[in-house]
């Protein structure tokens, strides 16, 4: 699929990804509709937006193949695993649960 693409870009003004193929065809994906079908967390939403900005061809590929939810789930699982590991480390250092959770939230604000 990617081999046939001449140009792919996100149009911020209308919220579409526009894909131009070598054979002259054009495809427009409305990002809002694609993302409305997904179970997203704040983290996975930010990853999707980053993907859209930095690699719109991959965004389109995952949207058309149905793999975008799997991508979001993997991203969220990594955050959950990281959260659990950090929480245990803070608890081992003697922080209480509330303080440890606050430190993790602060860490995640800057880690993306």
65 in the same domain as 27: yes
- At 81, the pLDDT band (50, 70, 90 cuts) reads confident
Q: By C-alpha distance, which of 72, 59, 65, 68 is closest to 9? A: 59
11 in the same domain as 32: yes
9 in the same domain as 59: yes
- At 112, the pLDDT band (50, 70, 90 cuts) reads low
pLDDT in tens, 51-61: 999 999 999 99
Q: By C-alpha distance, which of 3, 27, 2 is closest to 16? A: 27
44 in the same domain as 98: no
pLDDT in tens, 69-78: 999 999 988 8
Reduced to 3 states, what is the DSSP secondary structure of residue 94?
Answer: coil
49 in the same domain as 8: yes
13 in the same domain as 49: yes
User: Would you state the torsion angle of the CA atoms of residues 49, 82, 65, 51, taken in this order, to the nearest 10 degrees?
Assistant: 20
6 in the same domain as 37: yes
61 in the same domain as 39: yes
What is the helix (H) or strand (E) element at residue 5, kind and residue range?
strand 5-11
88 in the same domain as 36: no
Strands (E), 1-112: 5-11, 16-21, 26-30
pLDDT in tens, 60-69: 999 999 999 9
- At 107, the pLDDT band (50, 70, 90 cuts) reads confident
60 in the same domain as 12: yes
92 in the same domain as 37: no
- pTM (predicted TM-score): 0.73
Q: Which domain, by its residues, includes 50?
A: 2-72
- At 14, the pLDDT band (50, 70, 90 cuts) reads very high
The DSSP call for residue 24 is: S
Give how many domains the chain has, as a whole number: 2
């Amino acid at each position: 699929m990617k081999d046939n693409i001449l140009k792919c870009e996100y149009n911020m003004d209308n919220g579409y990804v526009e894909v131009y193929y070598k054979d002259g065809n054009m495809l427009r994906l409305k990002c809002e509709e694609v993302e409305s079908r997904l179970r997203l967390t704040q983290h996975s939403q930010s990853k999707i937006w980053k993907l859209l900005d930095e690699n719109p061809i991959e965004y389109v590929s995952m949207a058309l193949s149905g793999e975008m939810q799997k991508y979001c789930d993997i991203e969220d699982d990594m955050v959950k695993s990281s959260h659990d590991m950090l929480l245990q480390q803070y608890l081992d250092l003697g922080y209480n649960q509330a303080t440890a959770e606050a430190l993790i939230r602060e860490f995640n604000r800057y880690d993306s």
